[in-house]
Structure 1
Amino acid sequence: MAFHEVDILVIGSGAGALTAAFTAADAGADVLVVEKSARYGGTSATSGGGIWIPNSDDARAKGHADDPNEALGYIKTLIGDDVPETKLRAYVDNAHRMLSYLEERSEVRYTAYAYSDYHMDVAGARDGWRTHDPIPLMADRLGADFDRMEPPHTLTLTFGRFTWTMEEAKLLLTMSPGAKPLLFKLMLKYMFDLPWRFKTKRSRRLTGGNALIGRLKLSIDEKGVPIWLNAPMVELVRDKSGITGAIVERDGQRIEVRARRGVIIASGGFDHDAALREKYLPHPTSADWSAGVPSNTGDGLKAGLAAGAATALMDSAWWGPGFLLEGEDRARIMFVERALPSSIIVNQAGRRYMNEAASYHVAGGEMHRCNTPEAPTAPSWFVFDARYRGKYMLGPMMAGKPSADGRMPEAMRKILKKAGTLAGLAKEIGVDAAVLSKEIARFNANALKGEDPDFGRGASAYDRHYGDASVAPNPTLAPIAEAPFYAIPIYPCDLGTNGGLLTDDNGRVLDKDGKVLGGLYAIGNASAAAMGRTYPGAGATLGPAMTFGWLAARHATRVNQ
């Protein structure tokens, strides 16, 4: 067997992994990143790239200083006893320091955004400025590495060509005033960038996760950190002192990579491993229901378990209602569409059972919680009318008249149900017509008053964030009354699992006796989430991944000491 020796070995190449790699290299360490797939970036690259960071420099500069104790109280109330308070404190105290460090020392750039926390009814929640959006990056700066990066998720690509910032997405998806001029402007910029269009159909301007991962890749390049692609970790190497490295397969050869200061597992969750899902996640479940990259098969979890690591939160994931399209290798999470007027979600009994405008994590969790043999929720049905069809986008279905239905992508047509009456739609989706009609009649009567006494839709600032500002008095509510009527099947999908290896405040992996497994760290979805089973706000996955990646690298390189 061949051998290779470094100071720090990082398994995975998402945002947490590359943050750790840069931090360690910036401290003078010799670092190697290994990635099992043919592209770097993982699910982070395909995501919106947002991070949830209380009390950042940018928020303070914009006049929105935060109280760390309020932020801590907010997440503590949500998380309960699932995560020790010392770990929550480590996050709140260090997240803004991590971001300041990266913005000072690396290419990473973010802007604080007026995006409310997801649980505005909980003390300590704020109506904006904790979520941060990556500053766009021009792809040509990456050179050949642009083609080696995971592309954005299909759901974030307009016409398969360009993506949006958070602010642009809100405007376009809700069709707020200015949406059409913005879309026209983005299309013109794309169309007239002729030199770039000869190279690729994708826009030169990268936003979201691609902007973040691209900036991190430029940063580690400056430090001389290599990434081995197509190089899966096979197993960890251990002696009496702890973890000393890992066996990595590269070009058909197994290499023992010895890590003098530590191995940082950042290889994602187990969302695409059917056996692990069946064992740990709520039923029903399917690997097809994940929006994570297909390479997330729990490699780090399995290696950690074999080394004696403890785990936590294994029944948990970052949930979200979503739908599946033929020919796509991952689910499409419905981040926004559920909050728009003239739509509801019903179970297989034809009844509503949730606030459709709640955060995707809450809504996805409700699909599991409310699933019963009498009224199954997998699938449920997303029901809408011609008014919705004419104004809003739904996946690859662009807003348009019902007469244009035949021109939508075939994969969307295959899952779309349509009828001229509610009774006809009920027959199409296999629910009782009287029940569905009664449910929609009640919803419509309340929607006209801007009320949802059953589930409180539109009551919170978060609910209204993705509502239609032109609809009053409640931007999330309007009757479902204009024929024809439509429905698509939706499932309790996920962005990735968030249970995994149990870690301490520095990301060190713990064994089943609560003792540190020397030399081993875990971050991101490979570890038990610092946010527990909750989702405090947009970016609460990548924020902790990057923060604990920073802390783990600093600990391994002795910077913290």
Structure 2
Amino acid sequence: MPSDKPVAELAHDLIVVGSGAGALLGAIRAADAGLSVLVVEKASLVGGTSALSGGGIWIPDNHDMPRAGLRDSIDAAFRYVKTCAKGLATDDRVLAYVETAREMARYLAQIGVPYRCMPSYSDYYPALDGSLPGGRTMDPCDFNAAKLGVKALGTLRPTNPGQLIFGRMGINAFEARSMLARERKSKFVLMWIMARYFLDYPWRRKTARDRRLTGGQALMGGLLTALRQRNITLWLDTPLQSLVQEAGRVTGVVVQREGKSVQLAARRGVLLGAGGFERNQALREQYLPQPTNADWTATPVGGNTGDAILAGAEAGGVLHLMAHSWGVPTLFVPKEDKHRAMFVERSLPGCMVVNAQGARFLNESGPYPEFQQAMFANHQQTGGAVPAWIVFDADFRAKYPIGPLMPSTAMPDNRLRKSWLNVVYWKGETLQELAQQIGVDPAGLAASAERMGDFARTGKDLDFDRGGNSFDRYYGDASVKPNPNLAPIAKGPFYALKLFPGDIGTKGGLLTDRDARVLQQDGQAIEGLYCVGNNSASVMGPAYPGAGSTLGPAMAFAYRAIAHMTGQPMALQRTDLLHA
């Protein structure tokens, strides 16, 4: 008779669970420290949610800021993140992050994944003490996929269609901003992107995927290349089943491989970096605000079901921040396997977001987590904000992309897919006709549009101060005066898209210390168990201090975890800040 006992395999120094940014950075750092490493990934593709992301990292006082003429300090960053965290992350962990992030970013460059700062991209809460109007968010430099190779590129999870031009061509954050803000150079930028892609015929004969990797593809393409250069073993289609403990210490894992349970020994430790639980409907209903639906998330289907979080909890780990997520409004697009996140289009002038009463209830240009939270709050009050509707007119439609809709100057309505009408977008010749189609109060919608017209003329949003800070204005249209985020909604036909309170991951998970060690109820660390990324409770608490607040900490704490695991824990430098 076959035995249910797991088959034992050779031991490694470190076993990494997951293949996102934090997981692979940890694996590479461990290999550079002389450890033998095995990476196990549940999915058949590498990269997790990181591969779908914009690839940005939030790095205070980073090495590239002086080039842009910017200055920062650890004490300012510490004050800012501490305020954002609202007491839901320990001060020493916050300090560990803001001190380590810049060293980790330098290490990324050393292993072939260089970043550059975004001088004008503001922190998300410009009014808070210690915030900066730009420079802390860093964007990955474009990565040549030829360094990875066509075969290995096929194992990297592709990005979202919305992050490619015409679903094919890569675009980095600087280029995206130029086009959305309708800068003078934007037409030339687009021409260059298209010419480069179509003239690269030798590469396109090999694969339909762009040679030029940008955003999360550049980050993960670079990390996967570095992983392969170090001959680190990577097992795909290998889900975690449980952790192995001996005398309270985690000494390995049990995984499923080729239909069998396999027990793997880890001499130094196990690093969990397998994402959050946003694809687990039962856990969502147990922990997250209601209503909640796993279909609304923008993360990979089949992944991020909380397996590693539950395994860590079974091993004695404490759960923290489980009611929080990295919220973002999302929309449904047929034939796409997941909802599409709407990060920036809502900042453009000439659109507004309303509830079933036709009333605005938020600053459309504000940080996306606050957008999601405002949807929940207004829905509790009115019952009409889930879903909400983003409404715009013919002028907006002609100028700007939104969701899967390219500007009508490039893609007029008669060239849109017929199946999208009344599914992806709704259209009415008048606001009243549109309101009736989407089930919104016509009088309320008309009043909101009229009030928006008044705000556009004066440049001041008296209700929500849209465009009143540097973050809002970053993705506005600089040619629109006096406020780049405000324009009338007056010219028919009128359009609407349906928005859900989605997310790009959950924030809650295993509580860790400043070295990414998983903590027990008594505050003591579980020996041999480390955890990073959305697998762990966020160091940012309930907030989102700036673009890159997920990937930055994931990799910085992986960097610290390996230092601790190899007997060289990183001491805090500015301990005076902990007692200020």
Match of 1:98 among 98, 104, 121: 104
Match of 1:266 among 267, 273, 276: 273
Residue matched to 2:538: 529
CA distance in 2 between partners of 1:375 and 1:247 (Å):
45
Residue matched to 1:465: 474
Give the C-alpha shift of residue 343 in structure 1.
0.4
- Provide Cα deviations, 1:415-460, integer angstroms capped at 9, x if missing partner: 2111111111111111221111112111211211111010000000
CA distance in 1 between partners of 2:420 and 2:76 (Å):
44
Letter in 2 for 1:188: A
Q: Are positions 1:183 and 2:190 aligned together? A: yes
Q: Are positions 1:204 and 2:239 aligned together? A: no
Q: Are positions 1:52 and 2:58 aligned together? A: yes
Give the C-alpha shift of residue 373 in structure 1.
5.8
Residue matched to 1:25: 31
Residue matched to 1:278: 285
- Provide Cα deviations, 1:198-253, integer angstroms capped at 9, x if missing partner: 12222110011111111111212222211101111111111114111000111222
Letter in 1 for 2:163: T
Preserved CA contact (<8 Å) 1:509 1:521: yes
Aligned pairs for 1:258-337 (under 5 A) are: 258-294=265-301, 295-337=303-345
Residue matched to 2:490: 481
SS in 1 for 2:330: strand
| Runs of 4+ residues deviating >6 angstroms | none
Letter in 2 for 1:374: T
Letter in 2 for 1:314: M
Comparing 292-301 with 543-552, greater Cα deviation is found at: 292-301
Preserved CA contact (<8 Å) 1:174 1:392: no
Cα distance, 1:306–1:325 mapped onto 2, change above 3 Å: same
* Runs of 5+ unmatched residues, structure 1: none
Count of aligned pairs between the two proteins? 560
Q: Are positions 1:386 and 2:391 aligned together? A: no
Match of 1:40 among 15, 35, 46: 46
Q: Are positions 1:540 and 2:545 aligned together? A: no
What's the TM-score once normalised by structure 1's chain length? 0.98
Comparing 402-411 with 157-166, greater Cα deviation is found at: 402-411
CA distance in 2 between partners of 1:360 and 1:453 (Å):
21
Aligned pairs for 1:156-555 (under 5 A) are: 156-294=163-301, 295-372=303-380, 374-400=382-408, 404-410=412-418, 412-413=420-421, 414-555=423-564
Cα distance, 1:290–1:410 mapped onto 2, change above 3 Å: farther
Cα distance, 1:201–1:402 mapped onto 2, change above 3 Å: closer
- Provide Cα deviations, 1:26-53, integer angstroms capped at 9, x if missing partner: 1100011110101111110111100000
What's the TM-score once normalised by structure 2's chain length? 0.95
SS in 2 for 1:121: coil
Preserved CA contact (<8 Å) 1:60 1:66: no
- Provide Cα deviations, 1:301-338, integer angstroms capped at 9, x if missing partner: 11111112101000000001121112212221111111
Give the C-alpha shift of residue 375 in structure 1.
3.6
SS in 2 for 1:475: coil
Letter in 1 for 2:80: Y
Preserved CA contact (<8 Å) 2:333 2:404: no
Preserved CA contact (<8 Å) 1:120 1:462: yes
Give the C-alpha shift of residue 505 in structure 1.
0.5
CA distance in 1 between partners of 2:390 and 2:80 (Å):
32
Cα distance, 1:405–1:163 mapped onto 2, change above 3 Å: same
- Provide Cα deviations, 1:483-536, integer angstroms capped at 9, x if missing partner: 001111101110010100000000000112222111101100000001111001
Percent identity between the two aligned chains: 44
Preserved CA contact (<8 Å) 1:396 1:412: no
Give the C-alpha shift of residue 402 in structure 1.
11
Residue matched to 1:15: 21
Give the C-alpha shift of residue 411 in structure 1.
5.4
Letter in 1 for 2:430: T
* Runs of 5+ unmatched residues, structure 2: 1-6, 571-580
Residue matched to 1:65: 71
Letter in 2 for 1:429: I
Superposition RMSD in Å:
1.4
Preserved CA contact (<8 Å) 2:86 2:542: no
- Provide Cα deviations, 1:30-84, integer angstroms capped at 9, x if missing partner: 0111101011111101111000000111113433131110111111111111101
CA distance in 2 between partners of 1:424 and 1:435 (Å):
13
Letter in 2 for 1:389: R
Preserved CA contact (<8 Å) 2:180 2:477: no
Cα distance, 1:409–1:546 mapped onto 2, change above 3 Å: farther
- Provide Cα deviations, 1:7-44, integer angstroms capped at 9, x if missing partner: 00000011000111111111100011110101111110
Comparing 494-503 with 159-168, greater Cα deviation is found at: 159-168
CA distance in 1 between partners of 2:506 and 2:250 (Å):
25
Q: Are positions 1:146 and 2:156 aligned together? A: no
